[in-house]
Structure 1
């Protein structure tokens, strides 16, 4: 296991600094966006809780093996932080999956996009760090882009069961991002990532008997999907915990706003067609990130 750990250490050293951290977040956002179509297909052969349990269980197991020596130093604070974030991960992913069973994906994407303006508001309320004016401009542009990217069907918000579940999931996702930013500089990235993923997996499996969700029939498709999603989740969670030591929750949220752009590109390759408004929306998201980056660069120049 020394080789994977050494590779991770070298990668972290090379990508040190704010720009490297932001580049890493862009990378996992691309992976994150690609998983949307995969999850949608997986829900045709298994229930949401089983999918979440297997997905994050695989991720936790792989990371626990890779980071085995580091796990011996696990602290109570890391267990506490990992548990809180793990609950947020569980609620966000599970409720979103339940919502996708009853509402169109375009509407789900629009509702989930509410975490973009919600994160800076929560950051202001919880961490007492009001976002700069240019950050608000970037957030506004990104959110407007997400509305257009969702398409015409996504602009109608009927409050049915699926819509309500997805709205609650959006709040959980926003809280997760805030918590990751809050604990990022106080805990060991490797240990806390394992705890987060393990908590999310255990909660999903524990609730299966309560909800009455049945075990799915065995299929190699399900095995391949859960292993792939698990590996992706492991990479995503470790990178989030590492990168958000240097990237603020507001800035991170702007980068995460690119998720539906990549999801749309993957959908296009799978045969879906992006309408003109969706392309405009993708452009607004990119513009939002550029506007925020220009302001951040100026601030950095003044400090130097």
Structure 2
């Protein structure tokens, strides 16, 4: 069991590295194409890659035979895909006006936003969530607020995107318990691709040479960020521990900052790094604060809020 858990931790660490570095691909891809076209192409590529792999992934995640695809599954995947398209495109457009570092950390606030949104539908929220939220708010102030108490427009878009990711997690939690999560994921990827491509046709100029120039970023974002990252997590969650997943997958924000520094030459002032540390601490506190009635044994990471969201977004 220990060897399986260690392998799962290493796979999740690799996944967090891939997803964190994917923020750089998202930024570089927009040097040649618009944000909607980039999102549409990479999710279309991911869906095309995952479709033939679906039977293999399903055998890895469960052994029971699956019912045929029905209208309810398509509806659930479509609603998840709608939220995914809104969240990823807010993030993508926001990257035009803020740094990869800011984007990674602000997006990670969904970990706190999810239980706060859950209050609206009757979920209970513990002390850890409120303490984590306070740390995150202070951290975001230090990270994002500049001279004259101004916040970059891209940071506001990233925060709006984090709220959408929160809604997305709640949708995943609702539909994944009723339908096969792997099928739902593919349906939502297709939905996200179609919506993003439609937005690109309506609002952006599309040129073949631009698509070719953005090809490496599209391939990395689609193949590694979504398809491979998604597959790695499905394999890892078979033996993962929820508390480990909360820490390791949250490192996506840290790896985004490291990738931004190494590949794009990004840097922050000292207070910005302190703000990142507070935000990361708030995210972990919200995830790891002891519940009032903890189970006797830890549950698989797929039951964790981080796991739910990442399994569906796969580092968008």
With normalisation by structure 1, the TM-score equals: 0.73
Aligned pair count reads 283
Gapped regions of structure 1 (runs ≥ 5): 1-13
Whole-angstrom distance in 2 between the partners of 1:201 and 1:103: 24
**Following superposition of structure 1 onto structure 2, how do residues 149-228 of structure 1 map, counting pairs within 5 Å?**
150=143, 153=146, 156-158=149-151, 162=154, 165-218=157-210, 221-228=213-220
Instruction: State how far apart, in whole Å, the 2-side matches of 1:179 and 1:23 are.
Output: 28
- In the alignment, which residue of structure 1 is the partner of 2:260? 267
Determine if contact 2:139/2:275 at 8 Å carries over to the other structure: yes
What do residues 209-233 of structure 1 show as CA deviations (whole Å, max 9, x unaligned)?
Answer: 3224323525655222212111221
Residues 1:113 and 1:156: Cα distance change in structure 2 (over 3 Å): farther
Query: How far 1:40 sits from its partner (Å)?
Result: 0.9
Q: TM (normalized to structure 2)?
A: 0.71
Distance 1:258 1:278, change over 3 A: farther
Asked whether the equivalents of residues 114 and 143 of structure 1 are also in contact (C-alpha less than 8 Å), the reply is no
Pairwise CA distance, 1:28? 3.7
Please say if 1:276 is aligned against 2:270.
yes
Do structure 1's residue 230 and structure 2's residue 222 form an aligned pair?
yes
- Tell me the secondary structure at the aligned position of residue 299 of structure 1: coil
- CA deviations 1:33-87 (Å, max 9, x no partner) are 2111221111111111110111100111111011158698323222112111111
Q: 1:77 aligns with which of 69, 72, 91?
A: 72
Instruction: Give distance in 1, aligned partners of 2:67 and 2:180.
Output: 12
Q: Distance in 1 between matches of 2:148 and 2:290?
A: 31
The answer to whether residue 130 in structure 2 is matched with residue 130 in structure 1 is no
Cα displacement (A) at 1:201: 0.4
Instruction: Provide the residue aligned with 1:42 in structure 2.
Output: 29
Match of 1:120 in 2: 115
Q: How is 1:94-113 mapped onto 2 (pairs within 5 angstroms)?
A: 94-103=89-98, 112=107
Which position in structure 2 is the counterpart of 1:8? Answer: none
Unaligned 5+ segments in structure 2 are 59-65, 299-316
